[in-house]
Amino acid sequence: MALREIIVVPDPRLKQASEPVQAVDDELRALMDDMLETMYAAPGIGLAAIQVAVPKRVIVMDLAREGEEPQPRYFVNPEILWASEETAPYEEGCLSVPEIYDEVERPARVKLRYLNYRGEQIEEDAEGLYAVCIQHEMDHLDGVLFIDHLSRLKREQAIKKVKKQAKAA
Ligand code: NI
């Protein structure tokens, strides 16, 4: 396993749509292992492959709370089959938009289909933080960031702030 570099705004690769995965093989599992390690090191709770500059429809996630056993989850070619009309707000952040947090409103519950680490097809309902996180990460696969759900002014301020941080580092 190896740590990968996380790209941040305004890197144009974050705006690109990712390609479906053809096969869940050892090469893809090696990518998922690297992504999980990179996410834990950041630290974060979700990471899409494009955030390590790989344009594939792959996501890793771990929503375990501090002190709990790790619960790594892997999503290949995820699809949303259904989303509730009811929405819920959540204060989101993103490893590609460091140190910016703002409230985004999304469907409160979704039904998902994806392939797991072993390439098995799973259908699952998600709610709460799981629903927030999977929708946030799936946006990345289509080149959408959480700040794209905010006003233009807030989005521009966020990008300016991240650029400033990068210069100061
Ligand atoms: Ni993100």
Out of 27, 99, 123, 137, the active site residue is 137
29 alpha carbon to ligand 1 midpoint, in Å? Answer: 21
Question: How far does residue 14's CA lie from ligand 1's centre (Å)?
Answer: 10
**Which residues are within 8 A (CB) of 84 and not within 5 positions of it... i.e. 6 or more apart?**
107, 108, 109, 110
Considering its fold, how many domains does the chain have in total?
1
Task: Tell how far the Cα of 92 is from the centroid of ligand 1, in angstroms.
Answer: 8
Confidence of residue 107 (pLDDT cuts 50, 70, 90): very high
The verdict on residue 2 lying in a domain is no
Q: pTM of the predicted model, to two decimals?
A: 0.97
User: Quick check: is 7 in a domain?
Assistant: no
Tell me if 5 is assigned to some domain: no
Instruction: Say if residue 168's pLDDT is above 90.
Output: no
Tell me whether residue 21 is in a domain: yes
Q: Which residues contact 108 (CB under 8 A, 6 or more apart)?
A: 84, 86, 87, 88, 127, 131
User: Is there a catalytic annotation at residue 137?
Assistant: yes
4: in domain: no
pLDDT at 166: 87
Please tell me the distance between residue 166's alpha carbon and the centre of ligand 1 in angstroms.
Answer: 18
Q: The domain containing residue 56 runs over which residues?
A: 12-168
The percent of residues in the chain predicted with pLDDT above 90, rounded, is 95
Residue 3 maps to a domain: no
**Does residue 6 form part of some domain?**
no
> Which CATH number covers residue 53?
3.90.45.10
> What is the pLDDT averaged over residues 110-130?
98
CB contact set of 28 (below 8 Å; sequence gap of 6+): 21, 56, 58, 76
**Is residue 95 a part of any domain in this protein?**
yes
* pLDDT the model gives residue 169: 77
For residue 112, give every residue at least 6 positions away whose Cβ sits within 8 Å of its Cβ, in sequence order, or none.
75, 78, 79, 80, 81, 122, 123, 124, 125, 126, 134
Q: What pLDDT digit, counting tens, does each position of 14-67 carry?
A: 999 999 999 999 999 999 999 999 999 999 999 999 999 999 999 999 999 989
